[in-house]
């Protein structure tokens, strides 16, 4: 067991019950405050540990990571040091924060310097994302979409059970929490027998996803083996991959999604390390037919992560509209990375790999409004009595996720995005 994951550990920092950020988590992010420029922090309870100040005080010397690595606008310079270095830093911070350790807790001045309140912090996009790839790895989601738009008898396309299907998205429009987005405009074709129209998207949707962030991969021409794939994963975050369904339907033939997807995707600001997720490993669904050899893995490659999506109307209350789980994914992340690089494609430090919409087996666990409202035929009623088939102007969509067992809860926090009217 990784010592930093020990469920019996307690911190000298007071942590609220049900916090997503106990001492067993220690996720990394980029934050600033009124007095501090952007830097690397670790979330614990409702506080943030300032890693730049911690390193400046000599507290991270044993990790051999220089303080300058933490005074950056992204986690990339830190991730470029590789898994050994990022793991050492998490383990060292875990030691420093334990109830029995007096290195920080005994020094009032230092304590003040390195502790910030999350409520005083602005969270920034944690990673300078080079390339963004989105997969399509939930069988339930692919089946639902195929049933709605093609043929219920042949809902999955013939390649789906052989290939972890994916496409290259756009990195520039990935945002983090508390950043509003503007309803996109574009071409649509609402009626089959009439010409296309142009205007604001009417079928704006979320996609309940997660994503993983990569370390530097292998050079162009080399492939990452499915059983070594996790060595190249830094950590995971929540991911809401916004989609304009009406624009998507008209534009996607023959080359796939374009403007229906690239106007925004929202990622949560704290990256939970693969180490912290270790206690929550679980089996993936059985795969039949047997995948090609390069996709055959051993061990448990998925994680039990509870996922929720909420809609909050302007000045209204939050409504949970779906509860799903990362473990429903048919193709796991190791298979995704092995597939992505099997042709020799090079993976770079700071790439983001989206899971694809994660739908569960029951209608209350579907990962998009498209499925929840079944193409708009079954509106959802919110607590204020209003109905939603898709997302309206003024709505805030909030994604949350956490792992939980008998002894510990390791969470991702949230990512929250408000929709502004079209320009």
Residue closer to Mn ion, measured from CB, 241 or 414: 241
Nearest-CB residue for Mn ion: 241
Min dist CB 265 to Mn ion, Å, is 8
Residue closer to Mn ion, measured from CB, 207 or 246: 207
- Does position 140 interact with Mn ion (CB under 5 A)? The reply is no
CA-based torsion, 333, 334, 338, 339: positive or negative: negative
The active-site residue out of 52, 124, 141, 339 is 141
Min dist CB 352 to Mn ion, Å, is 12
Residue closer to Mn ion, measured from CB, 134 or 399: 134
The CA distance from 308 to 75, in Å, is 26
Residue closer to Mn ion, measured from CB, 275 or 399: 399
Phi, psi at 14, each rounded to 5°: -70, 130
What tokens appear for 290 in the block?
Answer: 């047997």
- Which of 20, 116, 134, 371: binder of Mn ion (CB under 5 A)? 134
End-to-end CA distance of the chain: 53
The CA distance from 225 to 317, in Å, is 46
- Does position 371 interact with Mn ion (CB under 5 A)? The reply is no
Residue closer to Mn ion, measured from CB, 23 or 210: 210
- Does position 275 interact with Mn ion (CB under 5 A)? The reply is no
- Does position 414 interact with Mn ion (CB under 5 A)? The reply is no
Q: Are 232 and 260 in contact (CB under 8 A)?
A: no
Residue 197 CA, chain-centre distance (Å), reads: 34
Reply yes or no on whether 141 is catalytic: yes
- Does position 230 interact with Mn ion (CB under 5 A)? The reply is no
Could you tell me which stretch among 45-53, 236-244, 309-317, 391-399 binds Mn ion (CB under 5 A)? 236-244
Q: Which residues pair with 35 in a beta bridge?
A: none
Q: Report the helix count and the strand count for the chain, using DSSP H and E.
A: 9, 26
Min dist CB 169 to Mn ion, Å, is 8
Min dist CB 134 to Mn ion, Å, is 4
Residues 200-219 that bind Mn ion (CB under 5 A): 207
**Nearest alpha-carbon partner for 309 in 217, 211, 208:** 208
What tokens appear for 31 in the block?
Answer: 């934050």
Burial class (CB in 10 A: 0-12, 13-18, 19+), 204: buried
- Which of 241, 246, 351, 414: binder of Mn ion (CB under 5 A)? 241
Min dist CB 356 to Mn ion, Å, is 5
The CA distance from 47 to 118, in Å, is 5
How many residues at the interface with Mn ion, by CB under 5 A? Answer: 3
Report, as residue numbers or ranges, the catalytic residues.
141
Binding site for Mn ion (CB under 5 A): 134, 207, 241
């Amino acid at each position: 067991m990784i010592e930093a994951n020990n469920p019996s550990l307690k911190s000298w920092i007071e942590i609220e019950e049900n916090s997503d950020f106990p001492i067993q988590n220690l996720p990394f992010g980029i934050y600033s405050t009124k007095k501090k420029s952007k830097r690397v922090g670790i979330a614990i309870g409702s506080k943030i540990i300032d890693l730049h100040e911690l390193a400046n005080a000599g507290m991270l010397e044993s990790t051999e990571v220089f303080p300058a690595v933490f005074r950056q606008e992204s986690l990339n310079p830190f991730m470029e040091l590789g898994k050994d270095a990022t793991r050492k830093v998490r383990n060292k911070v875990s030691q420093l924060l334990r109830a029995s350790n007096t290195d920080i807790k005994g020094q009032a001045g230092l304590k003040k310097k390195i502790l910030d309140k999350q409520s005083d912090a602005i969270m920034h996009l944690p990673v300078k994302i080079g390339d963004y790839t989105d997969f399509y790895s939930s069988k339930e989601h692919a089946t639902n979409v195929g049933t709605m738009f093609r043929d219920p008898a042949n809902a999955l396309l013939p390649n789906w059970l052989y290939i972890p299907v994916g496409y290259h998205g756009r990195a520039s429009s990935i945002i983090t929490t508390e950043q509003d987005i503007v309803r996109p405009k574009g071409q649509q074709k609402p009626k089959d027998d009439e010409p296309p129209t142009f205007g604001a998207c009417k079928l704006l949707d979320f996609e309940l996803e997660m994503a993983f962030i990569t370390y530097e991969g292998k050079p162009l021409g080399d492939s990452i083996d499915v059983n070594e794939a996790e060595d190249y994963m830094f950590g995971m975050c929540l991911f809401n991959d916004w989609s304009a369904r009406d624009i998507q339907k008209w534009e996607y033939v023959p080359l796939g999604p374009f403007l229906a997807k690239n106007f925004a995707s929202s990622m949560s600001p704290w990256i939970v390390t693969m180490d912290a997720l270790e206690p929550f490993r679980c089996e993936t669904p059985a795969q039949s037919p047997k995948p090609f050899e390069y996709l055959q893995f051993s061990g448990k490659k998925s994680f039990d992560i509870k996922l929720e999506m909420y809609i909050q109307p302007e000045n209204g209350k939050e409504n949970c509209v779906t509860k799903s789980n990362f473990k429903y994914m048919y193709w796991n992340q190791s298979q995704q990375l092995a597939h992505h690089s099997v042709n020799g494609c090079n993976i770079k430090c700071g790439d983001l790999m989206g899971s694809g919409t994660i739908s569960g087996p029951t209608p209350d666990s579907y990962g998009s409004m498209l499925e929840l409202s079944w193409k708009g035929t079954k509106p959802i009623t919110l607590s204020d009595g209003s109905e939603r088939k898709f997302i309206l102007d003024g709505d805030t969509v909030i994604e949350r996720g956490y792992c939980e067992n008998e002894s510990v809860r390791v969470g991702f926090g949230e990512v929250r995005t408000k929709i502004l009217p079209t320009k």
